[in-house]
A and B are shown apart, each in its own frame.
Chain A
Amino acid sequence: MTITMHVITGFLGSGKTTLLKRLLADPLMHDTAVLINEFGEVGIDHLLVQEVSSDTILLSSGCVCCAVRGELKEALINLLERRRKGEIPAFSRVILETTGLASPAPILATLTLDPQLRGRFKLGQVVTVVDALNALSQAEHYPEWLAQIAVADKLLLSKVDLVTDVQYKPLQTQLAAISHGIPLFISGQLDDPVNQLFNQGLESEDIASKVKEWQLYSPMPTAHSDKVNVCCLVMDNSLNWTGFGIWLSLLLKCHGAHILRVKGILNIGPKEQPLVIHGVQHHLHPPIHLTHWPDPQDQRSRIVFIVRDLDTKQLQRSFNAFSTLMKSNYSKI
């Protein structure tokens, strides 16, 4: 069985540990293994039932808690091995807390590209905790902050009670522009954090409505900072997957470091179901077929890029130039 791994990320001091404390005490976490940076910070002594080893403990809810001391891959394989030996209870999902300064993209790549992990784990939801008080200054000074926001499937805003409306408005505008339709939760208003944050994203039955939330159909966004831009590419005719794959793989290889997020819905032929793509930096997740178009009136291919320090005019021009190779009848020549 493939185990879903959810990721909690967020900048230093954003409130990841506070969220973890709340999650670990939740009875719904009984079938979960949590990989955290340090036990000490979370303060879970009162929940401890059994110490499995120096870096693994069992909590009263049945949740297994492990401290990651080296490579993520090693920690995940150890976890499976201990489960196989019966040292820890079976779990159906893993939640990983990243370090505050980490860009989540390499973690996602490890999970899907590593031959030992591929097939055993799959990526679930990426939850990014945003410190409402310091977010704008972090956005200004730390490129990791932006990468953490752009990769998110859910945003959780913390310390909202510490900011005034005047401070909150610009943050809200900036987050809306970067996250491009990602659900935003307020930390103090979460009733059921486990379900609200980790329910199935693109694996849910209604993928089409999830894709609709991406705002692929909103008007062309304008630039919202000197460095970060959103570029929306539209193709009227159905496109050839082989040609498109060649262009996108070349683009991600060459400019992946500047592509914070890519999302899209593709029309790959009149007889084919729409295809959803989404990726982070150099990495693209396996494409997903939709059963129907989110908007049946508009069946054009749409791809949205959130980029940093990348010329969107060049991106548009390159897409147009390569479109010759993406025409659906090209491959039949």
Chain B
Amino acid sequence: MCGLCGLLGEDIHWSDPINDEWPRRRERLLRIATINRILIPFHLKVSDFQGAAYLVQNATGRQELASGLEQLWQTVETLLGYPLDPFNEQLMKHLEQIQ
């Protein structure tokens, strides 16, 4: 557990922050903000749950908890009913418009 943030921490993952430029909690919130930009076309929203899990909600109010990035994508798939594909036409168009 991080003594400053009080985070229990998830499983180690290769995508974890590689330096300690910012506190872990800030890194986590930045990651969630980035994920939410991807999820806009799918009407899903991710929020932090006590610094130790992700809360994924859809437009109808259904919500699921996920621990770690791998499980998050699995949960998104469950709520969507299909895998979130980085080649998804709708998703790529949405990101291209941001540019």
Contact = CB atoms under 8 A, between A and B. Distances in A.
Interface of A: 118, 241-243, 245-251, 253-255, 268, 272, 275, 277, 279, 284-287, 289, 311, 314-315, 317-318, 320-325, 330-331
28 contacts: A118-B12, A241-B15, A241-B18, A242-B17, A242-B27, A242-B34, A243-B34, A245-B14, A246-B69, A247-B86, A248-B15, A250-B85, A251-B86, A253-B73, A254-B86, A272-B19, A277-B14, A279-B14, A289-B18, A311-B87, A314-B87, A317-B87, A320-B96, A321-B95, A322-B95, A325-B34, A325-B37, A325-B38
B54 to A, nearest CB: 12
A253 B70 contact: yes
Interface of B: 12-15, 17-19, 27, 30-31, 34-35, 37-38, 69-70, 73-74, 83-87, 91-92, 95-96, 98-99
A207 to B, nearest CB: 16
Given A249-B15, A249-B69, 15 more contacts: A241-B17, A241-B18, A242-B27, A242-B31, A245-B69, A251-B86, A275-B18, A311-B87, A315-B87, A320-B96, A321-B92, A322-B86, A324-B98, A324-B99, A331-B30
A246 B31 contact: yes
Contacts of A324: 95, 98-99
B86 A331 contact: no
Given A246-B15, A318-B92, A254 B37 contact: no
Dominant secondary structure of chain B at its interface with chain A: helix
Contact of B14 (A246, A284, A314): A284
A218 B74 CA distance: 37
- Secondary structure of the A contact surface, majority rule: helix
